[in-house]
């Protein structure tokens, strides 16, 4: 980085158009901190939903070194993410920026192999299956690898959006689902390759199901979680009603609902 032109560390951010208001606020705060310079590359699906229009205006009115936007509708089935990826790599090289690329770094799946998986195993009673909504695939790959080493009979399933079952090799009807944090319409995930993990099967969950179970977890179990956590529980319920009836299925509740206050997770019913 040319320190004569700018100060601070260049951080490259790749995000989809479903970026939450809470993350947007954090990025804006970082942009006002002299220690950091931000490059943000987005893919946006048009028409932009009403609850995202203010976020768009906020970013456009803010002062960034770079702000790239690609239109999902021009590049069907989320292929514009390839353009976003290419542009992000170019800027990282040009600006000597730091990028925590969780889609490619092996530390992602290993963190779950060394941490999350053993924690679940030691704190749980025996279970027959594990299912996980795939984003980078790191949590699934790491946990599945560890579980299989403890008991090869444990069935491990990847969960995907109903409208975009790309990893299962099925047709993508619409990549613009509402289950944030995954379902990126990618046909393969580097984390599965690095961990040498092959899923035992694939499950799909609709937007409605994911939202329903996320809300139910809050109302019935006192667990304030996000939409992808709802997707995991919805998928587990399907397994318990079919292949794994009267058995135990392990899932991850990925984060709290605090990051989803601006989404329709909390929409009035």
Do 21 and 141 sit in the same domain of this protein?
Answer: no
Q: Which of 53-67, 105-119, 185-199 has the lowest mean pLDDT?
A: 53-67
Residues 253 and 191 in one domain: yes
Give residue 159's pLDDT: 98
Residue 71: CATH number of its domain: 3.40.50
Tally of structural domains, the chain? 2
Residue 203 inside a domain? The answer is: yes
Residues 6+ apart with CB under 8 A from 262: 20, 21, 22, 51
- State whether 77 and 168 are in the same domain: no
Alpha helices, H only, the chain: 21-31, 50-61, 80-95, 107-111, 117-123, 138-150, 190-195, 207-221, 227-240
Q: Of 43, 61, 95, which closes a domain? A: 95
- Do 53 and 157 belong together in one domain? no
Split at pLDDT 50, 70, 90, the class of 40 is low
Q: What is the mean pLDDT of residues 225-247?
A: 97
Asked if residue 168 and residue 123 are part of one domain, the reply reads: yes
**Is residue 158 domain-shared with residue 197, that is, in the same domain?**
yes
Burial of 226 from C-beta contacts in 10 A (0-12 / 13-18 / 19+): buried
CATH number, position 178 = 3.40.50.1100
Could you tell me if 88 and 127 lie in one domain? no
Residue whose token pair is 């990618």? 186
- Residue 252, domain extent: 107-266
Do residues 9 and 39 touch, judged by C-beta distance below 8 A? no
Instruction: Among 95, 120, 138, give the residue marking a domain's end.
Output: 95
Q: What 3-state class would DSSP assign to 14?
A: strand
The answer to whether residue 4 sits within a structural domain is no
pLDDT digits (tens, 9 = 90+) for 108-150: 999 999 999 999 999 999 999 999 999 999 999 999 999 999 9
- Measured N-to-C along each axis, helices 207-221 and 227-240 cross at an angle, to the nearest 10 degrees, of 90
Same domain, 87 and 113: no
- Residue holding tokens 């889609």? 103
pLDDT value at residue 76: 45
Q: Which residues contact 211 (CB under 8 A, 6 or more apart)?
A: 178, 227, 230, 264, 265
Of the three residues 68, 95, 122, the one that is the final residue of a domain is 95
- Clarify whether residues 162 and 87 are in a common domain: no
pLDDT score at 41: 58
pLDDT above 80 (res 169): yes
Q: Does residue 100 fall inside a structural domain?
A: no
Same domain, 47 and 91: yes
Give yes or no: residues 40 and 168 share one domain: no
Q: How confident is the model at residue 3 (pLDDT cuts 50, 70, 90)?
A: very low
Question: Is residue 12 pLDDT above 60, yes or no?
Answer: no
* Residues 31 and 10 sit within 8 Å (Cβ to Cβ): no
| 257 or 100, which is more confident | 257
Q: Are residues 69 and 141 in the same domain?
A: no
């Amino acid at each position: 980085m040319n320190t004569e032109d700018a100060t601070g560390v260049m951080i490259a951010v790749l995000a989809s158009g479903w970026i939450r208001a809470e993350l947007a606020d954090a990025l804006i705060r970082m942009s006002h901190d002299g220690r950091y310079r931000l490059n943000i590359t987005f893919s946006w699906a048009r028409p932009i939903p009403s609850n995202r229009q203010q976020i768009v205006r906020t970013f456009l009115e803010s002062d960034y070194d770079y702000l790239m936007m690609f239109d999902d509708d021009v590049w069907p089935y989320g292929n514009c993410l390839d353009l976003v990826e290419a542009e992000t790599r170019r800027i990282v090289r040009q600006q000597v920026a730091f990028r925590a690329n969780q889609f490619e770094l092996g530390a992602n799946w290993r963190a779950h192999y060394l941490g999350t998986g053993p924690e679940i195993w030691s704190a749980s009673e025996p279970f027959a299956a594990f299912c996980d909504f795939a984003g980078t695939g790191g949590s699934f790959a790491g946990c599945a690898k560890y579980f299989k080493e403890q008991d090869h009979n444990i069935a491990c399933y990847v969960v995907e959006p109903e409208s975009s079952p790309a990893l299962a090799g099925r047709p993508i009807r619409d990549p613009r689902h509402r289950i944030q944090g995954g379902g990126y319409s990618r046909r393969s995930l580097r984390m599965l390759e690095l961990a040498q993990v092959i899923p035992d099967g694939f499950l799909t969950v609709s937007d409605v199901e994911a939202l329903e179970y996320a809300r139910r977890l809050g109302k019935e179990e006192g667990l304030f979680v996000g939409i992808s956590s709802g997707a995991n529980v919805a998928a587990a319920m399907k397994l318990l009603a079919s292949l794994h009836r009267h058995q135990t299925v392990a899932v991850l509740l990925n984060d709290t609902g605090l990051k989803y206050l601006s989404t329709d997770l909390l929409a009035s019913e």
